Amino acid sequence: MEHKREKFSSSLTVFLATLSSAVGLGNIWMFPYITGKNGGAAFIIIYLLCVTLVGLPVLISEFIIGRTTRKNVYGAISRITDKKGFKSIGIIALLATYFLMFFYTVVVGWVYSYVFKSLTGTFNGITLETANSIFYNTSTNIILPILWQFIALLTGGIILVLGVKGGIEKLTKTLMPVLVILLIICAFRSITLPGALEGIKFLINPDFLKVDISVIISALGLAFFKLSVGTGSMITYSSYYTDDNRLINTASKVAIADTVVSLLAGLAIFPAVFSFGMEPSSGPGLLFNTVPLIFSQMPGGKILCIMFFMLTAMAATMAMISLLEVVIVFFTEELKIERKKAIIINILIISILGSFAALSASSEGSLGNKLIFGMSFFNLCDFLVSNIFLPINGLLIILLIGYFVNKKCVCNQLSNNETLNNKKVIGILIFIIKYIAPVLIIIIFLKSFI
């Protein structure tokens, strides 16, 4: 008996749900920092070009697969092609999702713990030394990282029990606008601080002298990874799309909105970083060490600190549930396991194996010195996902749509059965999918090992 599938109720909810999958912790600190480091506005221009040539083609290809088949990632690939070599896409996507969840939920747990700390006044009177000490205890404690990781997973599971419309759709319709409003408030306060102009210049001042081949390759890699492709989350979400949704438009809006959210996060952080003479290149430490320190030193900083970590938790949670949905819908459709049981099983799997990542996230953690191929379990998960699973899957997906799926099927999905007048756009997109995107994805893959 065919599993009855829910659908998102409108194009707006399609957009918000898809954007929520793309937006995550990387928007809050990684994208703004990489932008500032690599030439500001000059990098953004290059990044958007790379999105057009790599990110969007793969994203739209996943949309085509998802809406055509209306199946989970494994079932979708099995339905859309009978070529055995491409069946690995579904398997790799599931592996990528699990390994990503093992370490991503650790960081989500840290964010949840920082929401609690900001609410309970832990950051009152904080100094650089105490900020470092708080994060050290957060990442190296034997019990707390695992506990917060489980709380994060449990939160995601509760949302997903409510289903596509009752859970995913309601959450994203509520939290995405709230997240943007909170970001705007934090950004406004940050840019009004004395000396904030230097932070704004760091983020958006175009410096083409910084642009070289390494910057272009960095933009290329970020454009690929930033849109949450390769894990199956976009194939899964697009399987819930309405029939009248314009796939190319949705993908373009998501890419632009995702960039805007990242820049807003940058405006919330970097003007304050420069205003207080902090180091803008501290990576994750910018989020867990520098941000509490900055907010503790400004008027109304306690409220802003709470708001900032709450919006970070929102972004992390929405990205997390899109990943959880990939494996849950696989369990319900392929293994015929009831949804609530599938959620419980996957929370347990990720909690148990993810605990090894939680205990090895810091080199000083209890498992931090237990190395596999020279890496801790946390770093190994990150390496496998970022450098192997996602690039390989992206390449396979683009080749599948470009060369092995019936062109009429592709065109029908992109034109909504020829009801849209976009033949020229489709022609350009298919050309990019067939001849440009594969080469650039191979470059991304080789970059990981050179």
Q: Can you spell out the DSSP letters for 232-252?
A: SHHHHHHTT--TT--HHHHHH
Could you give the CA distance from residue 334 to residue 72 in angstroms, rounded to a whole number? 8
For the structural domain made of 11-447, what CATH number should be given? 1.20.1740
Could you give the CA distance from residue 15 to residue 206 in angstroms, rounded to a whole number? 30
- Give residue 1's pLDDT: 39
- Give residue 41's pLDDT: 85
Amino acid at 93: A
pTM of the model: 0.92
Could you give the CA distance from residue 25 to residue 251 in angstroms, rounded to a whole number? 20
Could you give the CA distance from residue 252 to residue 425 in angstroms, rounded to a whole number? 12
- Give residue 337's pLDDT: 97
- Give residue 78's pLDDT: 92
* Angle between the N-to-C axes of helices 407-415 and 247-275, in degrees from 0 to 180, rounded to the nearest 10: 70
| Structure tokens belonging to residue 382 | 């990150």
CA torsion through residues 9, 7, 245, 331, sign: positive
Domain ranges of the chain: 11-447
Q: How far is CA 276 from CA 54, 122, 161, 270, 272, in A?
A: 38, 20, 44, 10, 6
Eight-class DSSP state of 372: B
Q: Which stretches in the chain have pLDDT values below 70?
A: 1-4, 281-285, 450
For residue 277, which of 261, 264, 290, 259 has the smallest C-alpha distance? 290
Angle at 184 (CA atoms; ends 181, 189), nearest 5 degrees: 130
Q: How far is CA 336 from CA 16, 29, 328, 443, in A?
A: 29, 40, 11, 39
- Give residue 285's pLDDT: 66
